[in-house]
Amino acid sequence: MQPSSKLYLWEKRTLYLGVINEPIHFVQPASSIAFSLDEPIKLTWNDKQIETRSFLLPPGQVITGNTGNSPVAICMLDPLGYDYAAMSGLMKRTNQPVKYEIENEDRYIKEFRQLYTNELSVTEVYTKLNALLVCNTEVEHTIDPRILRVIELIHEHVEDNISIDCFANEVGVSSSRLFQLFKEQVGAPIRRYRLWHRLFCATREIARTNNLAAGAHSAGFSDAAHFHRTFKRMIGMTPTDLFAQPNGLRIYI
């Protein structure tokens, strides 16, 4: 019998370990890296298809992954692109926009399988995950401090619909220039990133309270239905599907 699925929610990254019983539609506003812990994952987009046990996606792509019955490790990486920059050089093959077949793939899969099957503290899991993702330290990646400030404001005012004009005034650029800068640096528009962060905050609150409506409201969603639609559109599955895993789901925050 498979262990319970696990979802770890950190400010910088999220990690899912477990079985997913339906195809996933990757449309996240953050980059992600995934590993199959058993059989290869089938990826399809446009008229392309590949099978692989490890792949890296930039943000904003629309790709379907079919994991079958295999447990997987899916990590949404830091939204500022540091992880993506570090991991890109380790992928051996590219079929745009997908990079796949990481160097020393068996070692990564072994490490993630141990995280899946063993009971470790949240701190231990994050330490191991961080070691796996920052191994390529020679890569340089810088972020415009104005974009860092906008992200700080989004995190500080998660319930508020602050306009792009207000963000632009705060950092001293035009709205059009800020829109362009944010998309270039983060890989997703400001509005999509803000929705993603709200999903994160809502899911974290649901894990704490076991109350979907209250969690959605706390993160600025108008109601549970709005949260449900946004979750499905951006994560690729409904919150009901996520929480109703056959072997159970444990959420760590």
CATH number of the domain that 221 lies in?
1.10.10.60
Calpha distance 60→170 (Å, rounded) = 26
Pairing of strands 91-95, 98-102: antiparallel
Domain that includes residue 133, residue range: 5-140+241-252
- pLDDT of 140-177, one tens digit each? 778 899 999 999 999 999 888 889 999 999 999 999 99
Contact (CB, 8 A) for 9 and 251: yes
Calpha distance 187→76 (Å, rounded) = 13
Residue entry with tokens 């919150």: 239
- pLDDT of 170-221, one tens digit each? 999 999 999 999 988 887 889 888 888 888 888 888 888 878 888 888 888 8
DSSP, residue by residue, 13-40:
-EEEEE---S-EEE--SS-EEEEESSSP
pLDDT of amino acid 219: 85
Number of H helices, E strands in the chain: 10, 12
DSSP 8-state code for residue 2: P
pLDDT of amino acid 30: 80
Calpha distance 9→12 (Å, rounded) = 9
Tokens of 26: 């990757």
Same domain assignment for residues 19 and 108: yes
Same domain assignment for residues 97 and 164: no
DSSP 8-state code for residue 220: T
What is the C-alpha end-to-end distance of the chain, expressed in Å?
25
Neighbours of 167 (CB within 10 A): 23
Model confidence, pTM: 0.87
The answer to whether residue 228 scores a pLDDT higher than 70 is yes
Sign of the CA dihedral running 140, 107, 64, 233: negative
- pLDDT of 32-62, one tens digit each? 999 999 999 999 998 899 999 999 999 877 8
Question: 137 falls in which pLDDT band (50, 70, 90)?
Answer: low
Contact (CB, 8 A) for 215 and 9: no
Query: 178-206 as b/e, with b when 16 or more CB fall inside 10 Å?
Result: bbebbbebbbbebebbbbbbbbbbbbbbb
Pairing of strands 24-26, 63-66: antiparallel
- pLDDT of 60-119, one tens digit each? 778 888 888 889 999 999 888 888 988 998 999 999 999 999 999 999 999 999 999 998
Same domain assignment for residues 114 and 9: yes
pLDDT of amino acid 1: 66
Same domain assignment for residues 95 and 175: no
pLDDT of amino acid 175: 94
Same domain assignment for residues 20 and 64: yes
Same domain assignment for residues 152 and 69: no
Same domain assignment for residues 196 and 228: yes
More confident residue, 114 or 245: 114
Same domain assignment for residues 18 and 107: yes
Same domain assignment for residues 128 and 188: no
Same domain assignment for residues 210 and 135: no
